[in-house]
Structure 1
Amino acid sequence: MITLGRIGLALSALLGTASGAAATPTGDAMRGWVQTHAIALPACPSMSSRADFGAMANMIGDARVVALGEPVHGAHEPLAFRNCLFRYLVEERGFTAIAIESGLHESRRLHDYAAGGSGDVRDLARTGLTWGFGRFPENIELIEWIRAYNLDPRHKRKVAFYGIDMSGGDADGAWARGRSTLDNGIAYLARAAPIKSAPVRKAVVPFLDHFSVPAYLGLDDRERERLRRAIAAMLGFFDANRAALIAASSPADYAWARQDIVAARQLQTLFDVSRAPSVDGVLRPGDYRADAVRDAAMAENARWALDRAGAGGRMLLFAHNGHIMNARTRGGIWSIYSRPPAAMGVHLRRTFGRDLLIVGASSAGGRGGRAIKPGTVDAVLASTGVPHFMIDFRSTTPAWLFREQSISVNYDTENVIRPRQAFDGLVYFDRLTASRSIR
């Protein structure tokens, strides 16, 4: 690990104005601070390569949850970095789980496979990862590595894989596969308590075909309340009959089936504040409500996943910067929102406090060689000329870290954040290239 400040005069010629922006006292101070405090990171092209992340591990310390961000979905570099870092954290720091921004219910298939279950990983990933993430070979590599680690008899403590996003997600915004949460809960109770659970199962069945945004919007208020009560009754049945249900199945089956009903409750809350998916995809002022529900649900699911790890469990949580940040979503395309919604990181910070480390990601590399926006956090980090490094915002407290700054999102928009509030630190990539898509 090389502290960039120790590189000395070799960097001084590179620390001019970012992307042609006029120099300002704030900009100069930011660049100077980055030059002094940034630490170069090792290259690690795949999980078959070992890399020393000792400096980053020192940053992590005893944190039980490390929330690691990516500036855009589907870029190879953040995914590969996540994989290499996770291997190091498992082998050297005792981490026991990874959770990613993908549907919770669907992830059971990959959770079981990673634990040693049967199946073809690519087939399982197509249905076990939402938002199309099963296309990315880095995700396949991650799951295969976890499985190999778990199957090695030398490793007594096993490693778990989870999705923590709301279930049934897809690009069209309809959440049309969300009913799988209720289907699984019903099927589980029909096996574990076929007679006793019949009333609570019967109350939910009439609503199965209405469990998507478009179909749910066709229900009147009285029908929605009936569904709400039916879901609550099913969850209550799980809690009141926990011991008997576990005895008739297994602790794992019980835990996953119960969380499916929690996921169904999350979805109904989302449906209540959603509008019909629009063809133009343009955001509306009231859409903040759906974002707020989703991020709160992701935090709830992340807490569940960590609870499953038991005493001493430690988890790497990987999601978009816009979810892991301890901030409200502001700026860019979200400026239209009538109220900025709290990201998942806000909820996690309230729960875990100092047991949570939030590390975002930044890059100057954009799709099609798009120039980085001058004056942004990304431009300041790019001015070092160093391809890959990390920076810990907690080491000192320069004033600019507490001022509003812009950080790029998805190549073509931005979030407005106070860096020290939103993140404990950042990892920087000098470029982003598309992940190879698997058919």
Structure 2
Amino acid sequence: MATDIKDTAHAVDAAAVMGLLRSRPRLLALGEPTHGEDAPLELRNELFRQLVEQEGYRTIAIESDCVRGLLVDDYVTSGTGTLDEVMEQGFSHDWGSSAANRALVRWMRAHNDGRSASERVRFAGFDGPLEITGAASPRQALTALHGYLAAHVDAQLVPCTAPTLDRLLGADDRWTDPAAMTDPARSVGRSAEADRLRLLADELVTLLDVQAPHLIAETFRDDWDRACLYGRTATGLLRYHHGMADTSPARMTRLCALRDAMMAHNLLALAARGPVLVHAHNSHLQREKSSMRMWEGRVEWWSAGALVSARLGEEYAFVATALGTIRHQGVDVPPRDTVEGLLYALPQDHCLVDPRGLATALGDTPPAPRMSPWFGYAPLDPAHLAGIDGLVFVRDVPRS
């Protein structure tokens, strides 16, 4: 079996990835099983660089705030701002402090320098403006959408004024109260003002759609695309806040599903623009249902990858990542009867494994699921092998 498994392992490069696929997918996703470790991100950077240069991918999307990501896109495409500013302000979840993410942004800016617009690589965040402790106020997205429409559409068609939006939104800390994550009574998501804002957001998005020919001709396609992003974000945030006020047992299931739905809508919009490289946690990109144990018990929901795969079919591809050790987090050498344990016996520091060949080599004896002593690392579920197109394995992860 060891020889058979060795035969399934390849170098982690663009040619090897494309060799596992029938054709170039419109959306090629690379997952990670943990956050905050630079070693897998450095491997991502090199692989994405090759895929941009050799396969024509023109957008790199990561699991970060989609609105903040606009600042990074402006920097890498036109040099607006400074690297320090965009790393501090253009990322959520503290991703801007990562040396590997900084290197990615620096490379994208250098790559684009002097290139035509069609040759530039774009940056995108595809997560909503959400954190583990709560969600952002819908103010920024709503007011930006309203401002775009008010500037370019007959005022009689715009369903509200800016002062009306401001009055209904109220103070932002009403929306961002972290206590609302665990106490639905603290959420304003089902107040009369929030209900009115949901209706107005729907009307603004509808106006954006029905005026698309005029707006795209009057402004630029990128401006209209950005307004669509604001519309998706505003309606998504208002749905999420509505869900935070839910008192039913399905509350956390709905919230997790809503977040991944926001991710999926953003990814589909990016894919409509051209071929996209995506990086996020495996759980957001897998084709199977995701699950998590929370304070209200176990919740399950369809991931963004599952939602996108259902829409794009073979134009979506998912390459998962598994790790051998993260010793500084207490994740030691994996047991030999797990997928990670079998791959750990290979001599390479990192490799790309063909999951179909691996499944054949494993035969009728399924590997045992690995258990992690650290909550921050999610081992590969061997039952998911059939649903992935490639598996990157990193043997040992040093402290970042």
Distance 1:115 1:344 in 2: 27
Distance 2:377 2:115 in 1: 47
SS of the equivalent of 1:200 reads coil
| Residue deviations 1:205-230 (CA, integer Å, cap 9, x gap) | 33323544649823546444322211
State the match for 2:9 in structure 1: 38
Distance 2:294 2:366 in 1: 21
State the match for 1:424 in structure 2: 389
**1:241 pairs with 2:211:** yes
**1:286: how far off?**
4.3
Distance 1:219 1:346 in 2: 27
Q: 1:76-95 alignment to 2 at 5 Å?
A: 76-95=38-57
Distance 1:87 1:407 in 2: 33
1:324 to 274, 285, 308: 285
Summarize the Cα distance change of 1:177–1:205 in structure 2 as closer, same or farther, 3 Å threshold.
Answer: closer
State the match for 2:232 in structure 1: 262
**Taking structure 1 as the reference length, what is the TM-score of the superposition?**
0.77
State the match for 2:31 in structure 1: 69
| Residue deviations 1:23-47 (CA, integer Å, cap 9, x gap) | xxxxxx5x56422311244xxxxxx
- Which one-letter code corresponds to 2:393 in the other structure? Y
Q: 1:178-327 alignment to 2 at 5 Å?
A: 178-193=138-153, 195-196=155-156, 198-202=158-162, 204-209=165-170, 210-212=174-176, 214=180, 217-218=187-188, 220=190, 222-274=192-244, 286-309=251-274, 314-327=275-288
- Which one-letter code corresponds to 1:119 in the other structure? G
Distance 2:244 2:117 in 1: 45
Distance 2:365 2:390 in 1: 10
Summarize the Cα distance change of 1:68–1:400 in structure 2 as closer, same or farther, 3 Å threshold.
Answer: farther
Contact 1:404 1:419 in 2 (8 A): no
Distance 1:32 1:272 in 2: 54
Contact 2:8 2:358 in 1 (8 A): no
Contact 2:73 2:123 in 1 (8 A): yes
**1:176: how far off?**
3.0
1:124 to 82, 86, 103: 86
Structure 2 segments unaligned to the other structure (5+ residues): none
- Which one-letter code corresponds to 2:9 in the other structure? A
**1:325: how far off?**
1.1
Distance 2:359 2:211 in 1: 52
Contact 1:407 1:417 in 2 (8 A): no
Instruction: State how many pairs are aligned.
Output: 382
Distance 1:407 1:356 in 2: 29
Contact 1:216 1:271 in 2 (8 A): no
Distance 2:190 2:254 in 1: 20
Summarize the Cα distance change of 1:262–1:143 in structure 2 as closer, same or farther, 3 Å threshold.
Answer: same
| Residue deviations 1:1-56 (CA, integer Å, cap 9, x gap) | xxxxxxxxxxxxxxxxxxxxxxxxxxxx5x56422311244xxxxxxxxxx54222
Structure 1 segments unaligned to the other structure (5+ residues): 1-28, 42-51, 277-283
**Taking structure 2 as the reference length, what is the TM-score of the superposition?**
0.84
Moved more, 87-96 or 202-211: 202-211
**1:400: how far off?**
6.0
State the match for 1:56 in structure 2: 17
State the match for 1:21 in structure 2: none
SS of the equivalent of 1:433 reads coil
Distance 2:216 2:41 in 1: 37
Distance 1:250 1:199 in 2: 23
